[in-house]
Chains A and B, each alone.
Chain A
Amino acid sequence: MPALAPVAGGTKVPSGAGVQRRARTAYLLLIPGIAWLGLFFVVPLVSLFFTSLQAPTGTPGVYQPGFEVANYVTAISDYWPQFIRSFIYSGIATVLALVIAYPLAYFIAFRAGKWRALLLVLVVAPFFASFLLRTYAWRTILADEGFITTTLNALHLLPDNRILNTPIAVIAGLTYNFLPFMILPLYAALERIDPRLIEAAGDLYSSPFTGFRKVVWPLSLPGVVAGTLLTFIPASGDYINATLLGSPQDRMVGNAIQTNFLQFRDYPVASALSFIMMAIILTLVFVYIRRAGTEDLV
């Protein structure tokens, strides 16, 4: 780079060497993150992949390196109902969470005024108690003799006369447990919308509902996409809710992985289940993001 004369005001254009040094600093700062990911994400993933292809040795719980594609066949043929349940339960939970979270996030972003910070703390407050404990608490809330079940039964609204140990309880638990992951991205997206845009829509002959549909909703789509992914992905892999709130007929893929790993000590099938799950979710996410077209927004 040729030497440049100082520009007006005395500020100097950074020299070529300076730019290079800054770029090198940026890379240096990336090293801890890359090392972390390499050690705790890539290495286990590779090891999991090899495990999923291991062959039995005859001794239960001991396997040898191999290329047992049959593990994958077993995983699908034995556990396809769990896969389907996983996606149905977490899909319904995601939709419910979106329906519950959107008005709440909207209120916090546009209407809460000085209560905004407090409400946001309340949204994350459940995290102060353990996930397991909170899910146990739902057993009490939904128990057969509990207030909710008896009330709904009195109104003849429950097909099985109970909630606990049914898919409804599992879905309710998933919705509850992952709700903050829906609220927070939605709030972040809504909070960025200039309220004057809503005024402008009203000024341009939009009723409040049309204004919402044409302005607020499209502008909040990045939050909707982020929130649904952050809810759907962990919910579909969850096994605690199905274990504690569902019956043995309501088990999900997470349960299958857990029993294979810890009870049957069938590590290859458990790993194959994990890999299939990962592949399905990645595909779904990819299709979803393409459809939502987030790159066009904002």
Chain B
Amino acid sequence: MAASGEVQDLRLVNLVKSFGDFTAVDDLTLTIPGGSFFALLGPSGCGKTTTLRMVAGLEAPTSGNILLGDTDITNEKPYKRYVNTVFQSYALFPHLDIFENVAFGLRRRGIKDVSGPVNEMLDLVQLGPMARRKPAQLSGGQQQRVAVARALINEPGVLLLDEPLGALDLKLRRQMQIELKRIQTEVGTTFVHVTHDQEEAMTMADTVAVMNKGRIEQMGAPVDIYDLPKTAFVANFLGQSNSVAGTVQGRSGDDLIVGAPGGSYNVPAARSTRQEGAILLGVRPEKLSIATAGSSAAVPDRHNRATGKVTDASFTGVSTQYLVMTTWGDEWTVFEQNRSVDLLQPGDEVVIHWAPEYTFGLDVPSGE
């Protein structure tokens, strides 16, 4: 269709956007490989929408460049860009019916026979029977699917999706996630998907970038970021983490020895952003094992361990989530698979332990 041939990389170079003296996007540099499913993940107000708007051409960057392939599109008019957007607020045309909304981009490009592709697209988003309704006559989730269809039908080089599934119920959301992923694989378009749902980002994307306060904190494959977060923000934003602050006291082989309130811990030097001085140790809740204080002898010697008291146990079927108050007064979370029926009770003295290679070492965030 509008395809200019092969799928091209999208590159943002030193991109800055300021509103007055507030910097919404702060020196962003990243490359989104052509044909990839890229998720931009971050808390509300961190600059995700602003970034997308600059790529779409709806907002002029304060400085920096946007490149599609080797072409600098920083100053290209939005209607000439080979980019389409699914708006966070849908922005459907209220005076046009669903069919005409979806056909809008095709018609503007002078395509005469639109009914085939439009109906196909409407079937894809399961809105075929609603083609002649006005947007106001649809539910929020249906409107959202129209917004997706309206952008996708143009088969752009880059599709920008600003929380396109936010209004859908869980079932439909899963369905649309699979659908979007399938379409993306099929058409090979680069998808830049903004979301603050970390699970959505991890299940759908090839690459996830975690954004905070206008900057990319970390970027990589979901598995890698989850396994080895590089900042305390990422460790807590993407999944849950337990952490304890300490000081590097020495080395033992490939491990750093860290002294912390609960005792001494090992962390592989390769998994730590710091090799000396103050350090924040972290470990994911599902990597922890929990045992009664009495059976601590059974804990493997090489394991890191912390002791504490169970404050809460919530049974969720597959697993049990324990909250444990550590001896130094932090609350840790432990996910334990329900392999036995003997659950620990609040008040039980326990020992938490884990293999050192699950640990990660981070810079101590300022202000902590």
Contact = CB atoms under 8 A, between A and B. Distances in A.
A199 B95 contact: no
Given A196-B87, A196-B89, A210-B108, A203 B58 contact: yes
Interface string A189-214: 00000101101111111110011001
A215 B79 CA distance: 15
B154 A297 contact: no
Contacts of B154: 204-205
Given A199-B58, A199-B78, A206 B95 contact: no
A210 B108 CA distance: 8
B95 A298 contact: yes
A296 B104 CA distance: 19
- Chain B interface size, as a band, is 20 to 34
A159 to B, nearest CB: 43
Contact of A205 (B89, B92, B109): B109
B160 to A, nearest CB: 9
B94 interface: yes
A204 B84 contact: yes
The A interface, classified by DSSP as helix, strand, loop or mixed, is: helix
B91 interface: yes
B84 A202 contact: no
A146 interface: no
A81 interface: no
Contacts of A210: 108
Interface in B77-101: 77-79, 83-85, 87, 89, 91-95
Contacts, number: 63
A200 B91 CA distance: 7
Contact of A215 (B58, B89, B93): B93
A204 B95 contact: no
B78 A218 contact: no
Contact of A203 (B78, B94, B95): B78
Interface string B63-82: 00000000000000111000
B92 to A, nearest CB: 8
A207 B95 contact: no
Interface residues of A, number: 20
A204 B105 contact: yes
Contact of B95 (A200, A205, A211, A219): A219
A202 B58 contact: yes
B150 interface: yes
B56 interface: yes
Contact of A218 (B83, B89, B95): B95
B108 A205 contact: yes
Contacts of B58: 199, 202-203
A203 B84 contact: yes
B143 to A, nearest CB: 13
Contact of A204 (B57, B89, B94, B104): B104
B2 to A, nearest CB: 8
A194 B91 contact: yes
Contacts of B87: 196, 199-200
Contacts of A219: 94-95
A197 to B, nearest CB: 6
Interface in A65-86: none
B89 A203 contact: no
A205 B91 contact: no
A182 B195 CA distance: 44
B295 to A, nearest CB: 47
Given A196-B89, A206-B79, 7 more contacts: A199-B87, A204-B79, A205-B154, A207-B79, A211-B79, A218-B95, A219-B94
22 contacts: A194-B89, A194-B91, A199-B58, A200-B85, A200-B92, A200-B93, A201-B104, A202-B58, A202-B78, A203-B58, A203-B84, A203-B151, A204-B84, A204-B108, A204-B151, A204-B154, A205-B108, A206-B79, A206-B104, A210-B108, A211-B79, A214-B104
Closest 10 CB pairs of A and B: A204-B105, A200-B91, A205-B108, A196-B91, A202-B78, A218-B95, A203-B85, A202-B79, A204-B104, A199-B58
